[in-house]
Amino acid sequence: MAKAPGWTDDEVEALIESYLEMLKLDLPSLPYSKAEYRRQLMPKLNGRSHSSIEYKYQNLSAVLDELGLPRIDGYQPAKNYQKRLKVIVENYLHHSGDSFFRELRKIADLETPVAKLAHWQSVLVDAPNLNELPLGKVHQHVRKPIKIDYFKRELLNRSLGLAGEKFVVEFERQRLISLGLADLSAEIEHTSQAEGDGTGFDICSFDEQGREHFIEVKTTRGSQNAPFFISPNEIAFSNEYPDQFSIYRVFSYSRQPRLFRMPGEVARNFDIKPSMFMANIKKVF
């Protein structure tokens, strides 16, 4: 059986357009049909199979992950892609992505209601094991600037952060009650609301032995592997109280909120990269 020819640039651009249209609906949890978008895309392609298109969508998820942009949660990243794909995506976003970036800004800034939590165990998932993720080839090329830092805009959206924190407060309340610690469930403190954002954590809850446990909540509409911002104060607090501190990563918030927990020092569990520095004018003596 003859091997299918490689994807042309025109095919890839049609695929990108299809994917980004779905993403604009997926992030704010609006209804859409992946099958319908695939059906509309197929006439623009050179006889590609359904499975080939689905895998290419997964390649796009991997590229968007690497560019620090959100992706469709239902298309898990397939990182074994050709260098040319990333170049085409970057060129497309650089030259034709203005309307997409405008939509991303609107989505990142949306007012966010607190999601309902039926049962705490229904949203708890295992933390991702990065060692088990498929590894792609490392390609060296000049990266074109991306016109929006979506996850930084999410950080600045206080309604999203607050909604995620309230979601975790309810999660902790239900968890403690299920452990027979109903009395402690009434003592959970939403610290960031009571004392402000300078404490190094958002919520003071309790572990199974009734000891205080400090929780920093990071919420995104994106996937579980989406990057997040964390302050030096939060990192320092995790270093000082590693046995009593956890990051609660709430993801896919608008569509189907889930969370995983990462206890201990932040730098032990995450790669920390400086993204901003404070500069003061040097004194000249």
Q: Which domains does the chain have, with CATH numbers?
A: 1-108 (no CATH), 153-266 (3.40.1350)
Between strands 212-219 and 245-251, the pairing is: parallel
pLDDT band at 135 (very low <50, low <70, confident <90, very high): very low
Contact between 263 and 228 under an 8 Å Cβ cutoff? The reply is no
Instruction: Examine the pLDDT at 127 and tell me if it is beyond 60.
Output: yes
Look over the chain and give the mean of its residue pLDDT values, rounded to a whole number.
Answer: 89
Prediction pTM value: 0.80
Q: Which of 93-102, 160-169, 230-239, 273-282 has the lowest mean pLDDT?
A: 273-282
* Tokens 């997926």 -> residue: 26
Q: Is 109 exposed, middle or buried (0-12, 13-18, 19+ CB in 10 A)?
A: middle
